[in-house]
Structure 1
Amino acid sequence: MSNSNVTTTNPVNKLALSFRSTITSYVDTQREFEVQGHRVVYQMIAEAFMVAQNIRKETLDIQTKAFAEHGFTVSKSKTANPYGPIVKLLFGEWKTVSGSQKFTSEQPAGQKTLFEPNRSAEKYACVFRYFDKRKDQFRSVADIVKHIEDTKGALRTIEDQDRKDHPSAKSKATAATDDLAWGKRTIGSVEIDRPDFVPQDADYGVLWFVKKDEEICLMGFKSMTADAFEASAKARGKLMRSAAIQQLDEEVTELAA
């Protein structure tokens, strides 16, 4: 699906539309050749990065107009990932919406379609920034695919490395808790391995357990957003502080008696 209000002569729009038209074929190929599924995804991401590089060669004005026509703006922060809006443009799609839904200021009231970014693809902005920092190493799509395949942990490791290279204020504040999420870690005085049922792409969450005799059995996992995790941690901190104060008051009362 396309949108009649998008400027077809804008080179950024042309590049994005051309790439989006290939995504369906990648998905079909991945389904047909499940064994080669990962390589197909790596190929798609490598080609998307090349397209993203061409988009960044256009003037900022041309890029901004293209993004605005798709309903989103570009952050002016110096620390913002320049590939964020490009990834939205490349992996999103136009969808038919009801008349009750709100439109952005750039979209006329009578418009029947809305551009919807693919939230699950947003992590590729980190992957692209990682490639950009090392772009002298990559002469072709094949070079990028090989690099992903040769990296232990593949895309997840690449994404993590980029986040380490460009830590946000929130990631700095939660660095200590992030260390508990992957691999064998010590929680309190107990050393545990990452349970198999915890998704590799889960950054925050909670585990629940059941005690049988003297054994603690981890039973499940629930994913959480970073904001929900932070709010829960603060609430728990308040409860622990309150409990500690109450215990101290009881000890003081007992001593005074």
Structure 2
Amino acid sequence: MIELKSAGEISAMREAGRVVAGVHAAVRAQAAVGVSLRELDQVARTVIHEGGAGSSFLGYHPSFGATPYPGVICTSVNGVMLHGLPTPYRLRDGDLLSVDCAVHVDGWHADGTVSFVVGAARAEDLDLIRVADATLAAGIAAAVPGARMGDVGHAMSAVGRGAGYGMQNDFGGHGIGREMHESPFVPNEGRKGRGLWLRPGLVIAIEPSLIAGGGDDYHMASDGWSVCTGDGSRSAHVEHTVAITQDGPVILTVP
């Protein structure tokens, strides 16, 4: 079932979105060469606690996960595309890091992801992140009342694939609200003019991930959580929680 949210409920989700944005800012500020992913997870735990929120990730156990999720953020490095575990791995100069975080405040969830380079950045990594951000922006711009879900995926794939990057459509976006994952599925690629009609009150997480090598293949790592690019190339994952309103899309996961 798809639940449309009231203006008051969207405002409540906005509070969770501010905490997500705060986690991203704090983790990015602390992410440096030699810092471990586990230490970054602790930074995120502190921000979540001080923000009066709870983690949507900690203990989450979907059907594809080998175990309940052990952290409050996903920390995906280089060829890890999604769901990277916050391990003792210490960041190296030039690592491309994606940080995914979801929290709940007063029963309402918000979810967002940022990608950035630690230390000295390669030009090709900065291009990948720039196009990933542009891909997300195109999807958000297409999420207007009267459009269809396929329009969102079509807009994103036109940017991401148009730049020569690979995309996968199995792990896409999702509805969000009282639960972290709700209906509907939000595709990273779609057919224009097809799919669910977008109505005011629908709140969705839009989250494209691009593969630098241009292919679409991926595989699950032996840890049972990390989704890795099939060709070993780097990936960038970005995400915002977005409310569809009469006045257009409103991003909830910003300060």
TM-score for both structures, normalised by structure 1: 0.27
Work out which structure has the larger RCO, using CA pairs closer than 8 Å and 6 or more positions apart in sequence.
2
Structure having the larger proportion of residues in strand: 2
Structure having the larger proportion of residues in helix: 1
